[in-house]
């Protein structure tokens, strides 16, 4: 195969250097996916470390952080309108060798991200307690206060978080997966050190508990913003931004970004809202089930790494191949990415089924009730891991093509009708409890995998013009 060309100065991925055989495509996918897998592994560590360190404070602290993060994820769903559109547009422009247009998209997306951060962050900061009252129904004052405190600090970090997501999305569109991995690795180190000192009050620092975990995350995100700003100004990813063009929003540049991104944002809002409704069912099962649910999700997130990596690789390659007018190679790259992710996530699913307890004890080493419930959840979700690989990769491939509308439609049907409906019936009507809710999630994942696979096989996404 021809070597996959990467400019030494910019680290820009050159899709024109990829051969047409399956072996060539797999090699290119691995080149793109490995840094993305590393990034996801490191990114997952942030959540795992927060949960593990906060878990030492008790199940109420775990529940508080989990509730706050549920609301944060819903808010972030709005911002996907920028990140998804930015990645897809940058990939298309680089595939078509229109680098200046790609740089203009990034500049405009950065400006839009700052506005989004202010519009969403300021009200969230000042309305933290009223907002958390909408989602905290446990009656536990510690859980409520901890959730409100954590949420308020996270709202203050939105301006850093949104900038980071925009920068990383653009770099991925350019095929530079190593830069986001590097940034996440460095910010993880900052976060872990901050957690150690601020959660437990080590050295001269106060013992802030949940508040300390939030402050550590805010600091780590600020550090990430500084690094991303330096990279972009230095021309990383081949970007050459001309700030003399001004800070005004351009309808011409942002229209295609939002045309692609808005369905993706609705999809994420539907997904996050569905997860919240699903979470209400879990809350009704008691604090132990709620904590076990959080722990099991964090443990399961380990398996997301290969799916995330190959989904991002598929997004980049599909977008750039379409930009280069090579739809057959775009199709082949999507299918090959799905096969690789399915294989790796199936292996991890087998480990979850055979050895769930060691994964769970990373977060709650002593609470036997939570360990037992979370281990049960991991055994259940092990059956859907191969299907979740297909969901992640085919959704990523369709987003790279700009085909975000059908991903949104499938999410609405599968999450709101299947997952929530069956979770209520299984958990409450049939009395299966937490196990019933997780079986409902499995069925949702299997259905979405089939729908997304069918859409990708149809080839209709190749006709989209952006």
What does the pLDDT look like over 318-367, one tens digit per residue? Answer: 998 998 889 999 999 999 999 999 999 999 999 999 998 888 888 777 78
pLDDT at 218 over 80: yes
Max Cα distance, the chain (Å): 64
Nearest Cα to Cα of residue 293 among 196, 423, 389? 423
CB atoms near residue 243 (< 10 Å): 9
Instruction: At 388, list the tokens.
Output: 């979740």
pLDDT at 197 over 90: yes
Contact in structure between 432 and 373 (CB atoms under 8 Å):
no
User: How confident is the model over 199-226, as a mean pLDDT?
Assistant: 90
pLDDT at 152 over 90: yes
Backbone angles phi, psi at 6, to 5 degrees: -135, 120
- Strand-pair partners of 355: none
User: How confident is the model over 370-399, as a mean pLDDT?
Assistant: 93
Nearest Cα to Cα of residue 314 among 77, 25, 12, 20? 25
pLDDT at 41 over 50: yes
CA distance 93 to 96: 5
What pLDDT sits at residue 46? Answer: 64
What's the pLDDT band for 297 if we cut at 50, 70, 90? Answer: confident
What pLDDT sits at residue 9? Answer: 44
What's the pLDDT band for 114 if we cut at 50, 70, 90? Answer: very high
User: How confident is the model over 71-98, as a mean pLDDT?
Assistant: 86
What's the pLDDT band for 203 if we cut at 50, 70, 90? Answer: confident
Nearest Cα to Cα of residue 172 among 241, 111, 87? 87
CA distance 218 to 351: 34
Contact in structure between 211 and 153 (CB atoms under 8 Å):
yes
């Amino acid at each position: 195969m021809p070597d996959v060309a990467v400019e030494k100065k910019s680290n820009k991925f050159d899709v024109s250097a990829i051969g047409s055989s399956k072996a060539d495509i797999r090699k290119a996918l691995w080149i793109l996916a490995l840094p993305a897998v590393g990034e996801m592994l490191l990114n997952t560590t942030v959540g795992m470390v927060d949960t593990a360190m906060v878990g030492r404070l008790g199940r109420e602290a775990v529940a508080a952080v989990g509730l706050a993060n549920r609301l944060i994820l819903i808010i972030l769903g709005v911002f996907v309108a920028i990140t998804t559109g930015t990645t897809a547009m940058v990939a298309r422009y680089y595939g078509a060798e229109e680098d200046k247009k790609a740089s203009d998209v990034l500049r405009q997306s950065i400006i839009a991200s700052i506005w989004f951060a202010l519009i969403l962050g300021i009200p969230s900061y000042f309305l933290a307690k009223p907002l958390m009252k909408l989602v905290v129904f446990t009656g536990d004052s510690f859980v409520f206060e901890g959730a409100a405190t954590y949420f308020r600090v996270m709202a203050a970090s939105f301006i850093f978080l949104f900038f980071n997501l925009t920068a990383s999305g653009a770099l991925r569109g350019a095929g530079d997966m190593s830069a986001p991995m590097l940034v996440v690795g460095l910010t993880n180190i900052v976060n872990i050190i901050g957690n150690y000192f601020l959660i437990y009050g080590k050295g001269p620092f106060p013992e802030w508990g949940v508040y300390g975990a939030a402050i550590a995350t805010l600091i780590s995100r600020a550090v990430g913003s500084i690094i991303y700003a330096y990279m972009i100004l230095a021309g990383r990813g081949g970007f050459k931004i001309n700030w003399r063009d001004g800070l005004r929003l351009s309808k011409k540049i942002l229209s295609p970004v939002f045309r692609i991104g808005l369905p993706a944002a609705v999809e994420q809002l539907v997904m996050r809202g569905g997860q919240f409704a699903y979470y209400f069912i879990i809350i009704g099962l008691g604090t132990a089930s709620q904590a076990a649910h959080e722990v099991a999700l964090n443990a399961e997130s380990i398996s997301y790494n290969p799916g995330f990596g190959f989904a991002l690789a598929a997004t980049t390659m599909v977008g750039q191949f379409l930009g280069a007018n090579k739809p057959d190679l775009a199709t082949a790259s999507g299918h090959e990415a799905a096969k690789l992710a399915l294989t790796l996530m199936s292996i991890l699913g087998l480990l979850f089924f055979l050895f769930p307890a060691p994964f769970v004890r990373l977060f709650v080493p002593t609470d036997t009730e939570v360990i037992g419930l979370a281990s049960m959840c991991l055994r259940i979700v092990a059956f859907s891991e191969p299907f979740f690989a297909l969901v992640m990769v085919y959704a990523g491939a369709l987003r790279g093509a700009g085909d975000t509308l059908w991903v949104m439609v499938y999410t609405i049907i599968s999450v709101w009708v299947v997952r929530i409906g069956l979770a209520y019936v299984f958990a409450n009507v049939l009395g299966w409890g937490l196990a019933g809710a997780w079986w409902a999630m499995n069925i949702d994942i299997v259905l979405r995998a089939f729908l997304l696979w069918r859409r990708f096989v149809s080839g209709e996404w190749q006709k989209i013009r952006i």
